[in-house]
């Protein structure tokens, strides 16, 4: 079988026409490279977001453990824990437990009985404090706890103490 020059030219022409009809190899490779780069960047961004999310989750878990350590199951705080949670005079959270107890004693909200700090009955009735018995060795001892409302009440007392006294204008 002999191929004429016209047949060969037609075949070459057909191949050239077919190649012109479909996108060039380089264009396809550029699109694939761009898509691959976008996927790599998206993957990198997702990994970064995952690291940030894990850090936030770890921080929240630490805070939850701290809160659980401060607060017993009833949502009550020991006087020591309450002291760490109230706003001190400088505007930051937390004060020494002894300072809180001294403040509450000065305000005549707490009194000492048999070595235990107890709140006034009206504060227990309002739900600010609760007294519980706990077993220590072979005897029971009373312990004072502060409720969330009690923390708010203590913060109100502290905020009143932080306000400067009004200036009196005594005329001459």
Q: Which of 5-9, 61-65, 102-106, 153-157 has the lowest mean pLDDT?
A: 5-9
Which residue pairs, CB below 8 angstroms and at least 24 apart, start in 47-52?
A: none
Instruction: Tell me what pLDDT residue 91 has.
Output: 59
Tell me the average pLDDT across 115-129.
Answer: 94
pLDDT above 80 (res 88): no
Question: Over 70: is that where the pLDDT of 82 sits?
Answer: yes
Q: What is residue 51's predicted lDDT score, i.e. its pLDDT?
A: 92
- Distance between CA atoms of residues 16 and 8, nearest Å: 12
| pLDDT recorded at residue 117 | 92
User: Would the pTM count as exceeding 0.85?
Assistant: no
Residue pair 143/116 in contact (Cβ under 8 Å)? The answer is yes
Given this model, what pLDDT does residue 73 score? 59
Mean pLDDT of the chain: 79
What pLDDT is attached to residue 172?
42
């Amino acid at each position: 079988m002999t191929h004429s020059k016209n047949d060969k030219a037609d075949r070459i022409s057909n191949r050239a026409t077919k190649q012109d009809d479909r996108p060039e190899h380089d264009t396809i490779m550029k699109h694939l490279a761009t898509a691959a780069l976008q996927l790599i960047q998206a993957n990198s961004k997702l990994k970064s977001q995952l690291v940030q999310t894990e850090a936030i989750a770890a921080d929240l878990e630490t805070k939850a453990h701290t809160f659980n350590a401060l607060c017993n199951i009833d949502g009550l705080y020991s006087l020591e824990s309450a002291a760490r949670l109230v706003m001190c005079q400088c505007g930051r959270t937390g004060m020494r437990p002894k300072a809180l107890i001294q403040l509450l004693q000065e305000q005549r909200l707490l009194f000492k009985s048999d070595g235990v700090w107890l709140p006034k009955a009206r504060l227990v009735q309002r739900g600010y404090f609760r007294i519980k018995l706990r077993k220590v060795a072979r005897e029971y001892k009373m312990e004072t706890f502060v409720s969330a409302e009690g923390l708010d009440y203590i913060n109100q007392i502290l905020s009143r103490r932080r306000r400067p006294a009004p200036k009196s204008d005594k005329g001459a």
